[in-house]
Amino acid sequence: MKKLSLMMLVASCVFASGSLVAGQSTKEISPYPLGERSILSERAITDRVKPVGSVCVDGEECGTASEEVATGPRSGDEVYGAACAMCHGSGMLNAPRLGVASDWAPRVKKGEATLVKHALEGFNAMPAKGGCGNCSDDEITAAVEHMIESVK
Ligand code: HEC
């Protein structure tokens, strides 16, 4: 008899907690309407197989990520630090070093326009735009001016 009442107690507990769960609004269990909750539903499957990234074309509404990227032109100093310092800081591959006048003297003689052109288009071991794919022409020009300034 004792066993039976214990079982009934357990059973009623299970029932009570069960109805507690059932008392939850279905919205709290899943944000999706009934037919779309299953992991086998069309919604869940399209969610799973959709591409991880997507390309956002200029002019399209692309959410916030693209807005963060568009922060306006960077200064010559910033562009130098991000894209040029790797070579022009140490003189790697014989790149003219920032602030070293003797490295720059023969180059400055060519005129700023030529130096900018070489920075944009590449020059021997100097890669076009220093390899900076997201640098605008204006930003590269500013970086070249920053380098020339450093030896003035
Ligand atoms: C991978 C290394 C590397 C990076 C990164 C790099 N440069 Fe250079 N750069 C060179 C080398 C090497 C030379 C020397 C080329 C020569 O004279 O043969 C050079 C030369 C130059 C010159 C002189 C060109 C001339 O006509 O004498 C300018 C200006 C210049 N770089 C600007 C930049 C700017 C601006 C950046 C960053 C946006 C940059 N470089 C990033 C390697 C690099």
Residue ranges around ligand 1 (CB below 6 Å): 79, 83-84, 86-88, 92-96, 107, 110, 114-115, 118-119, 123-127, 129-132, 135, 140, 143-144
* Digit-coded pLDDT (tens) for 11-52: 665 655 554 555 556 666 777 888 888 888 888 888 888 777
In this predicted structure, what is the pLDDT of residue 74? 94
Nearest CA to ligand 1 atom 13: 95
What are the residue ranges spanned by the domains of the chain?
76-149
Which atom of ligand 1 is least distant from the CA of 144?
Answer: 35
* Digit-coded pLDDT (tens) for 110-136: 999 999 999 999 999 999 999 999 999
Nearest CA to ligand 1 atom 33: 119
Scored b (16 or more CB within 10 A) or e, 73-107 reads ebebeebbebbbeebbeeeeeebbbbeeeebbeeb
3-state class percentages of the chain: helix first, strand second, coil last, to nearest 5: 60, 0, 40
- Average pLDDT, whole number, for the chain? 83
Q: How far is the CA of 75 from the centre of ligand 1 (A)?
A: 18
Domain 76-149 annotated CATH 1.10.760.10: yes
Q: How confident is the model at residue 146 (pLDDT cuts 50, 70, 90)?
A: very high
Contact yes or no for 127/83 (Cβ under 8 A): no
